[in-house]
Amino acid sequence: KKINLAVVGATGMVGRTFLKVLEERQLPIENFYVMASSRSAGSKLTFNGKEYTVEELTEHSFDKPIDIALFSAGGGTSEKFAPIAAAHGCIVIDNSSQWRMDPEVPLVVPEVNPEDIAWHKNIIANPNCSTIQAMVALKPLDDKYKIKRVVYSTYQAVSGAGMAGWKDLENGLKGEAPKKFPHPIANNCLPHIDVFLDNGYTKEEMKMVNETRKILHNDEMRVTATTVRVPVFDCHSESINIEFEKPFEMDDLLETLKNAPGVVLQNNSEANEYPLAVDVAGHDEVYIGRVRRDDSVESGVNIWVVADNIRKGAATNAVQIAEEIIKNMQ
């Protein structure tokens, strides 16, 4: 069966990658629609060798039969339009943070909790980019050794802040003042992603904490995070410190990571081989290296995790969810 599919926010950083990933993975699409704001309505995008005209997203965009819509046009747009699409029988896969913590909305990483797709009510949330790559790494370890506590420290690319973030680094390298970020990002590290909350954490940090618990189905898990924007265009890197309930053998842990779905283990520090943003850009897998025991606790490990934040961290993950849905339609 072929489906009708819409991309909302098609002109954006993630939107354009949706088109690329849908082409690469050859989803069975009958009718294809690209939508964005009035600003870019009428402009053209090429998909599978054909030109499509960008439509303005309105209340009537989902009057036509659309089976699946991939949304990446900001939280406000999702808040307003995802329920409209859902009411028309369209399944929305939403990349914004708007619906992620809603108890009626599954939050899904296909390698980790595909079973949660089953209870959707026409909206499924794509997790935060930094959370997605962490989940692919943590899930096999949680299954095996039961995670007690996690400490995230992230090194996040400017592409995570959309086109405007990308331009701030590009222009900042030429000496221009930032427009998107509150400080220069060139030659800098900003310990500030998304807005600050009352508890002193940023919203990005609390997304990692709360989404981790929801996806791993463990509200008791102790999780903390420091998220940092760094002058890198593509790929988020993360240092993850994990404490387990159970003891582990290093060989067994390495084997577990090596065999985990969606993981590439690149753990050969003696040869200077470890995951690097410049190498991982353009790939869909989550790369893991620098695996070493944390001797400061009874049973713990440190790992370094890198993934393409626009692909696995956004577009690819959403398209994988769409693939699961299509599989279940057959």
Q: Which residues are catalytic?
A: 129, 236
User: Which one of 5, 11, 138, 291 is in contact with ligand A2P (CB under 6 A)?
Assistant: 11
In this structure, which long-range contacts are made by residues 49-58, counting pairs with CB atoms below 8 Å and at least 24 apart in sequence?
A: 54/10, 54/11, 57/8, 57/81
User: Which one of 3, 29, 70, 73 is in contact with ligand A2P (CB under 6 A)?
Assistant: 73
Spacing of C-alpha 233 from chain mean position = 16
Is-contact 35 63, C-beta < 8 A?
A: no
CB atoms inside a 10 Å sphere around CB 191 = 11
Contact set for ligand A2P, span 134-163 (CB under 6 A): 162-163
Is-contact 123 82, C-beta < 8 A?
A: yes
Of 36-44, 59-67, 88-96, 222-230, which segment contacts ligand A2P by CB under 6 A?
A: 36-44
Q: Which is nearer to ligand A2P, 82 or 147 (CB)?
A: 82
User: Which one of 74, 75, 83, 114 is in contact with ligand A2P (CB under 6 A)?
Assistant: 74
- CA-to-CA distance for 256 and 128, rounded, in angstroms? 24
Q: How far is the CB of 276 from ligand A2P (least distance, A)?
A: 24
- In what side-by-side order are the strands of the sheet with 68-71? 55-56, 29-36, 3-8, 68-71, 91-94, 123-125
The CA-atom distances, in angstroms, between 231 and each of 40, 187, 284, 301, 305 are: 28, 7, 21, 27, 17
> Does 85 participate in binding ligand A2P (rule CB under 6 A)?
no
Contact set for ligand A2P, span 47-66 (CB under 6 A): 57
Please name which of 15, 25, 22 lies closest in space to residue 47, comparing C-alpha atoms. Answer: 22
> Does 315 participate in binding ligand A2P (rule CB under 6 A)?
no
> Does 77 participate in binding ligand A2P (rule CB under 6 A)?
yes
Q: Which is nearer to ligand A2P, 124 or 161 (CB)?
A: 161
Spacing of C-alpha 14 from chain mean position = 10
User: Which one of 5, 22, 27, 36 is in contact with ligand A2P (CB under 6 A)?
Assistant: 36
Residue span 180-209 as binding mask against ligand A2P, x where in contact by CB under 6 A, dash where not: ------------------------------
| Contact positions vs ligand A2P (CB under 6 A) | 9-13, 15, 36-37, 39-40, 57, 73-74, 77, 162-164
